[in-house]
């Protein structure tokens, strides 16, 4: 089990319970920003079965990738590392050339993880596939502090919760794999999970304490090691954080997990524009809000001498969520003042803005309802 091995080189897995939330774009552009800050960075496409990181970096998929490595013992992991057009940034491709690896075996996964841990770089970013399957979770657990991307939309938020719940169970199972009685109990809980039934980690820990007080305490200690960090992507307004804060509360009360917030990235046309021009948006649209949001997250990483601990002045901010709230509000003011000065808003535009906002408020209400319903 990995109990923070990220001391000299920091491995940052980037996951998201739901597909299409922006994991790959964030992995590529965050890697770009870390490299731009002078950090030796490697970004790895671990979305096996759906590799497309190269397109976000503006690269052609011609070199060998993870697919070649997993399907041949002759291919050395080191040989997969490709240079990119960007200083300090290297890249390992996924399985576009050799595909069909969406369900890799445990031994292959172990071999892969072992090689990633041996890489030498300041930062190693992993772009993971969507969903809460064992692959995504095991790669995520290479660090105790991976990034989980979500939007404020209901399905994405619920999937983020589902991801962390599976993660918590898997983590406990690994931690207690030598303890027969506890392993048996955990496996039974997982097996008996039915749609609608809701066994929380809080209840599991309580039960473990009842089986054996010392191990119950140990379970709580293990859980406190995990510090996943949320990134909210494609945000429309600072209010999107309200849902995410509800999510945090639910995670704390049901999963005994402390999550932190790395930051919020606004939905921005510059992202789509840069994609059609095959360049990272932090390069092509450096002045855009989304690029600034990514840059801010990169700075939080770089400025933290003890990352994954966050550089936070607790005299000013209560926690990482409050800091993100302030950043999001400042950005929003910039976005709205820009749009006012760029073109005069006519009555038609105004009506369409109001109707979009109404839709968002309804969506927000729906998500808050779902989260409250899920509360045990």
Ligand X SMILES: Nc1ncnc2c1ncn2[C@@H]1O[C@H](COP(=O)(O)OP(=O)(O)OP(=O)(O)O)[C@@H](O)[C@H]1O
Provide the binding-site residues for ligand X, judged by CB under 6 A: 16, 19-25, 47, 50, 130, 233-234, 265, 267-268, 271-272, 275, 290
Min dist CB 212 to ligand X, Å, is 40
**Residue facing Mg ion at closest CB distance:** 24
Sign of the dihedral through C-alpha 43, 109, 204, 368:
positive
Give φ, ψ of 41 to 5 degrees. Answer: -125, 140
Min dist CB 18 to ligand X, Å, is 7
- Strands (DSSP E) contained in the chain are 10-15, 41-46, 81-83, 89-92, 123-128, 147-150, 229-235, 260-266
**Which residues on adjacent β-strands are paired with residue 83?**
90
146 binds, among ligand X, Mg ion, none (CB under 5 to 8 A by kind): none
Min dist CB 69 to ligand X, Å, is 20
Nearer to ligand X, 179 or 329 (CB): 329
Q: What is the three-class DSSP state of 256?
A: coil
72 binds, among Mg ion, ligand X, none (CB under 5 to 8 A by kind): none
Q: How many CA atoms are closer than 13 Å to the CA of 106, on its beta-carbon side?
A: 0
CA angle 128/322/31 to nearest 5° reads: 30
Stated length of the chain: 376
Start-end of H helices in the chain: 23-36, 53-56, 66-71, 106-118, 134-140, 154-175, 180-191, 201-211, 213-225, 240-255, 269-276, 281-284, 289-303, 320-342, 347-374
**Which residues on adjacent β-strands are paired with residue 147?**
14, 229
Min dist CB 65 to ligand X, Å, is 15
Nearer to ligand X, 254 or 274 (CB): 274
Nearer to Mg ion, 47 or 268 (CB): 47
Query: Would you give the end-to-end CA distance of the chain in angstroms?
Result: 29
Nearer to ligand X, 72 or 339 (CB): 339
Chain positions contacting Mg ion, by CB under 5 A: 23-24, 47
- As a whole number of angstroms, the longest Cα–Cα distance in the chain is 69
275 binds, among Mg ion, ligand X, none (CB under 5 to 8 A by kind): ligand X
Nearer to ligand X, 25 or 175 (CB): 25
Nearer to ligand X, 79 or 269 (CB): 269
Min dist CB 53 to Mg ion, Å, is 7
58 binds, among Mg ion, ligand X, none (CB under 5 to 8 A by kind): none
20 binds, among Mg ion, ligand X, none (CB under 5 to 8 A by kind): ligand X
Nearer to ligand X, 43 or 201 (CB): 43
Nearer to ligand X, 268 or 331 (CB): 268
Min dist CB 52 to ligand X, Å, is 7
Q: What is the three-class DSSP state of 292?
A: helix
Please identify which residue in the block is written with the tokens 């923070």: 4
Min dist CB 265 to ligand X, Å, is 5
Please identify which residue in the block is written with the tokens 């552009």: 29
19 binds, among Mg ion, ligand X, none (CB under 5 to 8 A by kind): ligand X
160 binds, among Mg ion, ligand X, none (CB under 5 to 8 A by kind): none
Tokens of 258: 């402390």
| Closest-CA residue to 247 (of 330, 151, 144, 170) | 151
Please identify which residue in the block is written with the tokens 């991801």: 163
> What is the distance between the alpha carbons of residues 146 and 167, in angstroms, rounded to a whole number?
11
Q: Report whether 44 contacts 124 (CB < 8 A).
A: yes
Nearer to ligand X, 66 or 182 (CB): 66
53 binds, among Mg ion, ligand X, none (CB under 5 to 8 A by kind): none
233 binds, among ligand X, Mg ion, none (CB under 5 to 8 A by kind): ligand X
Min dist CB 281 to ligand X, Å, is 8
Q: Give the strand pairing for 81-83 and 89-92.
A: antiparallel
Min dist CB 371 to ligand X, Å, is 21
């Amino acid at each position: 089990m990995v109990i923070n091995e990220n001391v000299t080189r920091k491995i940052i897995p980037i996951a998201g319970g739901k597909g299409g939330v922006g994991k790959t774009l964030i992995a590529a552009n965050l890697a770009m920003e870390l490299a731009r800050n002078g950090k030796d960075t490697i970004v790895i496409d671990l979305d096996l079965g759906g590799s497309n990181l190269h397109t976000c970096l503006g690269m052609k998929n011609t070199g060998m990738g993870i697919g070649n490595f997993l399907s041949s013992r002759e291919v050395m992991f080191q040989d997969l590392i490709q240079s990119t057009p960007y200083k300090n940034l290297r890249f390992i491709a996924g399985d576009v050339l050799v595909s069909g690896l969406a369900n890799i075996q445990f031994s292959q996964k172990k071999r892969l993880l072992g090689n990633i841990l041996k890489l030498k770089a300041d930062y190693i970013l992993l772009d993971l596939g969507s969903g809460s399957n064992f692959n995504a979770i095991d790669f995520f657990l290479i660090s105790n502090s991976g990034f989980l991307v979500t939007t404020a939309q209901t399905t994405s938020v619920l999937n983020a919760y589902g991801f962390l719940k599976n993660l918590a169970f898997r983590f406990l199972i690994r931690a207690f794999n030598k303890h027969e009685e506890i392993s048996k109990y955990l496996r039974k809980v997982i097996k008996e999970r039915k749609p609608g039934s809701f066994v929380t980690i809080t209840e599991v820990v309580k039960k473990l304490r009842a089986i054996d007080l010392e191990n119950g305490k140990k379970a709580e200690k293990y859980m406190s090691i995990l510090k996943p960090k949320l990134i909210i992507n494609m945000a429309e307004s600072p209010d999107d954080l309200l849902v995410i804060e509800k999510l945090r509360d639910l995670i704390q009360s049901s999963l005994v997990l402390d999550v932190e917030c790395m930051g919020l990235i606004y939905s921005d046309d510059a992202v789509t524009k840069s994609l059609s021009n095959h360049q990272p948006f932090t390069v092509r649209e450096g002045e855009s809000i989304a690029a600034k949001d990514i840059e801010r997250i990169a700075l939080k990483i770089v400025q933290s001498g003890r990352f994954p601990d966050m550089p936070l002045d607790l005299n000013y901010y209560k926690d990482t969520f409050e800091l993100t709230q302030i950043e999001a509000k400042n950005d929003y003011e910039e976005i709205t003042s820009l749009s006012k000065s760029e073109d005069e808003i006519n009555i038609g535009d105004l009506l369409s803005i109001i109707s979009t906002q109404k839709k968002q408020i309804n969506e927000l209400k729906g998500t808050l309802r779902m989260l409250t319903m899920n509360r045990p």
